[in-house]
Amino acid sequence: MSAPAVRTRRRRRMVLLVYLVTELLMYFAIAFLFFFLIFFVNQILLVAEDILKKRVPVGDVAVLIIYSLPFIIAQSAPFATLVGFLVCLGRLVTDNEMLIFRASGHSYALLLAPVLTLGILISLASFGVNDYLLPIATTAYQNLYRRILLSNPGVELESHSIKRTNDSTLVIGDVTNTEVSDLIFFDVGTDNAQRVIVAGETSVTQARDRSVLMQLNMEDAVVILFKSDDRESYDMITSQAVRMNIFNSTIFPSASMMNPREYVSVDLYKKIEEMRQSPETNPLELNIYEMEFHKKFSLPFGSFFFALLALPLAIIFGSHNGQTIGFVLGIIICVFYWAMLILGQTFASRNGFNGVVSMWLPDALVGAAGLLCYTGLRRK
């Protein structure tokens, strides 16, 4: 082949690659906006509605939602990669543009290169948000929520609910503003004696001491004291009024016990190494920290594995109405991926299931499926 012909072929290949990358980015942006709105609305329903009904200033609620944006962005990017790439590549297959590309003598490997490159770039950008912005936003969110509770302690109490703190349990009846009816309090004293306090009417007030989150003013309270190893004997005390302080430490962890989401990956790794060397470390707590550490990588780099899966799936299923098929197929896969991620986190945090496996298993399955589909495609 002559030199001019080689240059012409290279220019055509470059034009095709630029066209493909432009289309992939456009559809990714549309899909990202779609998932961003879904997670954003979900965050409003989970946070704003619950807090607004407790008469928290709208400005504080808006700031809380802003602090949630890094989490929403990190969650949206992988799913947008799969759905956006599937819809884009499916359209190319349906419009026979993929056929023209192949008829021009180009292989699937040439298509796979820009797809995987974009998947890596999206993963790196998502990792930056997940590892840097998310810890900052999480810390700011917790601090603001703490200030909201200190100014309005009734936010923490919900009607007909059970509130578990570090060392006690509250069973809550009807809540109207700062008035609570049918409140039951369970805790265990330093001598392992169990205490139960029952009150018909309780008012919640803000305490003067900054270390106290809220003060419970119980009227006509009944206090029952007994030991777990001797349930037949107990003491019962009746009182017209009982004042009980709920300290910040019972709701919020101490400063030395940061939420693992508040660490960047380097600091979280150092914390995990310290926990491994300490004989007093709780294995379940260590497993949670390891899970959060690997989640910082597995979730953002899910974009790469989804990109690997998107190309062969679009070619296999995109011959007829590829955009619709790609969208539906992408949503189904996203739901299964999200379900595996949530179940993995639940089993790891509650049952001690390996946190590393629970975070990387969804990516491993997606990656294996992508490799199998691509291998089968090349053999045709």
Reduce the DSSP state of residue 224 to 3 states and report it: strand
The answer to whether residues 333 and 340 touch, using CB atoms and an 8 Å cutoff, is: no
Structural domain range at position 234: 157-251
Shared domain check, 174 and 131 = no
Biggest CA-to-CA distance, the chain: 102
Shared domain check, 50 and 180 = no
Reduce the DSSP state of residue 228 to 3 states and report it: coil
CB-hemisphere CA count at 13 Å for 365?
12
- The confidence score (pLDDT) of residue 360 equals 95
Task: Write down which residue in 210, 232, 251 finishes a domain.
Answer: 251
Number of other residues whose CB lies within 10 A of the CB of residue 145: 20
Which are the contacts of 232, defined by CB distance < 8 A and separation ≥ 6? none
Residue reference for tokens 């297959």: 93
Shared domain check, 355 and 306 = yes
Domain count of the fold of the chain: 2
Tokens for 10, please give them.
Answer: 């290279």
Dihedrals phi, psi of 147, to nearest 5 degrees = -65, -35
Shared domain check, 27 and 140 = yes
228 within domain boundaries = yes
pTM comes to 0.76
Extended strands (E) in the chain: 161-164, 168-172, 175-176, 179-188, 193-205, 212-227, 230-247
Shared domain check, 131 and 242 = no
Number of other residues whose CB lies within 10 A of the CB of residue 131: 18
pLDDT tens-digit readout, 163-211? 776 667 878 777 776 777 788 888 776 666 788 888 878 877 766 665 6
Per-residue pLDDT of the chain (380 residues; tens, 9 = 90+): 556 655 666 777 787 888 889 999 999 999 999 999 999 888 777 776 666 666 677 787 788 888 888 989 989 999 999 999 999 999 888 888 777 777 776 777 888 888 999 999 999 999 999 898 988 888 888 778 777 766 665 666 667 777 776 667 878 777 776 777 788 888 776 666 788 888 878 877 766 665 666 777 888 888 888 776 666 777 788 888 888 777 665 555 444 456 788 888 999 999 999 999 988 888 888 999 999 999 999 999 999 999 999 989 988 887 778 788 889 999 999 999 999 999 999 998 888 899 899 999 999 999 999 999 888 876 65
What are the residues facing 221 on neighbouring strands? 239
Pairing of strands 175-176, 212-227: unpaired
Shared domain check, 228 and 335 = no
- The confidence score (pLDDT) of residue 48 equals 63
Residues in the chain: 380
- The confidence score (pLDDT) of residue 172 equals 79
- The confidence score (pLDDT) of residue 209 equals 63
- The confidence score (pLDDT) of residue 281 equals 86
Q: In terms of Cα–Cα distance, which of 128, 147, 124, 125 is closest to 136?
A: 128
- The confidence score (pLDDT) of residue 93 equals 87
- The confidence score (pLDDT) of residue 256 equals 42
Q: Which own/partner pairs from 74-77 qualify as long-range (CB within 8 Å, at least 24 positions apart)? A: 74/126, 74/129, 74/130, 74/134, 74/299, 74/300, 75/35, 75/39, 75/299, 76/32, 76/35, 76/36, 76/39, 77/32, 77/122, 77/123, 77/125, 77/126, 77/129, 77/300, 77/303
Category of 55 on φ-ψ map: left (φ > 0), alpha (ψ -120 to 50) or beta: left
Shared domain check, 146 and 10 = yes
Task: Write down which residue in 206, 230, 251 finishes a domain.
Answer: 251
